[in-house]
Structure formats: structure tokens, C-alpha cells
Amino acid sequence: MREAMFIKKNAEKWKEYQHFATDNPDETAERFITLIDDLSYAKTFYPKSKATRWINGIAASIYLSIYQNKKEKYTRVFRFWKYELPLLFKKYHKVLLFTVCVNVFFTAIGIWGSINDGEFIRGILGDDYVNMTEANIAKGDPFGVYKSDNLFSMFVHIGVNNIFVAFLMAIGGLLLGITTLVMMWQNCLMLGAFQYMFFSKGLGLQSIMVIWIHGTLEILAFFIASTASFVMVQGLLFPGTFKRTISFKRSVKDAMKIMLVLVPIFVVAAFLETYVTHLMSQTYDKESNFGLPVWGSAIILAVSLAFIVWYFVILPIRLNKKGYYIQPDGIINRLKK
């Protein structure tokens, strides 16, 4: 039998085995035996074919799912965070780059509008917020908005609100990313106007050292949430070799995994905003200009930025170069060199 005919005859079956797992042990065993037969035939007649490697990968996946021991089950969570999520981000690095560029561009528009139009900031942030901030600056308390008597209530409110907004942003992918773009536009214009307001008052460095203690994780996490949305859009519009429905289901699953990693990041950002930024706003004075030493703020900023870049950019690239790859069922394999 010619290779093309062999592939055409069995491709649908292999795709089903690869993308649709079964909990029935008898069916699993039957699938494994069938794949072994196909693999033996392929190795005999097409030893260097991509189809042979494809069958081998599916068979290996089923084998591992059958014979993995209990200890491996307990390490599933560890492997998920160490390998599966970073490798997932490697798959979507181009989407991540696109969303980061769009967010930065929208933020730049917010800064440009603030520079060229005196009323732009009030139009974006609202008169009440601008008046309150200007009053706080006048009395020497520019970051008074971060003061609160009930810190734990503030922590819960900030964390829950940010997670909720991020999930709304991600779900926008179901609408081809249109609502996500609108939210990105609004949030980035506010970010640009907000930051420029402090720079125009001569408080640019202070605002970075105070606000970006929590803002580094928070803002970048929103950038990644918008990435999750466009992962869905990509799966729907560009299915590749898969059926559009299958591609979209896979992209939704991947997007939800991306959102999962953002939850602890938003929790940490809420903690920093509630307790660290709050502390700095309470102890800020015109003489020191900082509630914490400059090096303390710089360390928090550097660690936050380094973590995001390392986990979402560097680690995925390193794992990919080492030959690690993720199968549809979540099993991690490594190519032998």
C-alpha cells in the first residue's frame, strides 16, 4: 500500500485517538493495540515518514496514560506549572507579542492625548478623580487614594475585581476579540492619562516607585489576559489542519489555562497594592518622597518584571530548545537528540 493511501485510510482514526481521550479501559487497550499494529506496518514500509512519528507519539501517550504510577499523579500539578503552561505560552508567543504591542500603542495614545489636550485627562479619568488627586497633591498626599482603614476588605475587593475584569477580557475572544479590544483601548487610555498626570505634576518618579509596585504585575497580567482572548480568535479564524470546531475547542481550553495562571498573579498584585503601596502612601512625605527606601521599591519592581519575562518568555523558549513538547492530553515528552 502506498503511504498516501495508508495515511488517508487511517488519519481520521489517529486524530480521534489523539484529541479525544476515553475513560473506558477496554477501549483504551483496543486503541493501543490498533496503534501498535499501525506503527509496526509504518515502521516496516515507511520508517522515515512523519506519519510514523505521529503514530508513535499517540501510542506513547496512551502507553504513559496506562502505566504511569501514583507518584506521577501527585506531581501532575507540579508538571502543569513547570512544563505545561510555559510550553503553552511558547505556542502563542506571536499572539502575546501582538497583544503587548497593541496595549503599548494604546497607552502611548493616552499619553499623547494628555500632552496635546489639557482636557483629555479629565475626559478619560473623570472630573471627580482628577479633582481628588489634585487636592491630595496640593496637601502633600498625592497617593492618598490608596489609603484605607479596612485593609483585608480592600485586598479582597481589589483581587476579586481584577480577576473578574480579566476574565471578561478573555471571554471577549468568543466575540472575535471585539469587546477585548474595546476594554484594552479604555484601560490603556486611562493608564496613559493617569501616569502622565503625575509626571506633569513633577511626581513621575515617585508614582513609579509607589504605584508600579503592584502595577507591574497587575498591568502585565491584563496584557496576558487579552492574549487569552486572541488565542480563541486565532483558533476560530485560523484552524490550520484541524476542523474549525476542534481548533476552537482547543483554543478555548488553552485560553482558560492561561487565565488560570493569572489568578495567583492578581492575588499577589492585590496584596502588594493593599499592604505595600498602602504602607508607602501612609508614610509618604515631601522630604523623603518615598515611604520605602528607593532600593526596596526597585527590588519589588525588578522582581515582578523579571518573573513575568522569565515565566512567559524565557522559560518557554528554554524548554522548547531542550526538546520538551506537550501532547494534547497534557503529557510532557522530550525529543531525544
The yes-or-no verdict on residue 98 having pLDDT over 90 is yes
**Any idea where the domains of the chain sit in the sequence?**
3-67, 83-326
Q: What is the percent of the chain with per-residue pLDDT over 70, rounded to a whole number?
A: 82
The yes-or-no verdict on residue 101 having pLDDT over 90 is yes
Name the band, by pLDDT with cuts 50, 70 and 90, for residue 94.
very high
State how far the Cα of 47 lies from the Cα of 55, in Å rounded to an integer: 12
Name the band, by pLDDT with cuts 50, 70 and 90, for residue 180.
very high
Q: Grid coordinates 522630604 are at which residue?
A: 287
The yes-or-no verdict on residue 177 having pLDDT over 60 is yes
Q: Which of 69, 66, 75 has its CA nearest to residue 31?
A: 66
305-330: pLDDT as tens digits:
999 999 999 999 998 888 776 665 55
Average pLDDT over the chain reads: 83
pTM above threshold 0.85: no
What pLDDT was estimated at residue 243? 85
158-163: list long-range contacts, CB under 8 Å, 24+ apart: 158/269, 158/270, 158/273, 158/274, 159/266, 159/267, 159/269, 159/270, 159/271, 162/218, 162/221, 162/222, 162/266, 162/269, 162/270, 163/262, 163/263, 163/266
Radius of gyration of the chain (CA): 25
| Other residues' Cβ atoms within 10 Å of the Cβ of residue 204 | 14
Name the band, by pLDDT with cuts 50, 70 and 90, for residue 227.
very high
Q: Which residue has the higher pLDDT, 20 or 17?
A: 17
What mean pLDDT comes out for the span 184-200? 93
The yes-or-no verdict on residue 241 having pLDDT over 90 is no
What mean pLDDT comes out for the span 230-240? 91
Instruction: Give the cell for residue 272.
Output: 502588594
What pLDDT was estimated at residue 134? 84
Name the band, by pLDDT with cuts 50, 70 and 90, for residue 230.
very high
Q: Which residue has the higher pLDDT, 274 or 186?
A: 186
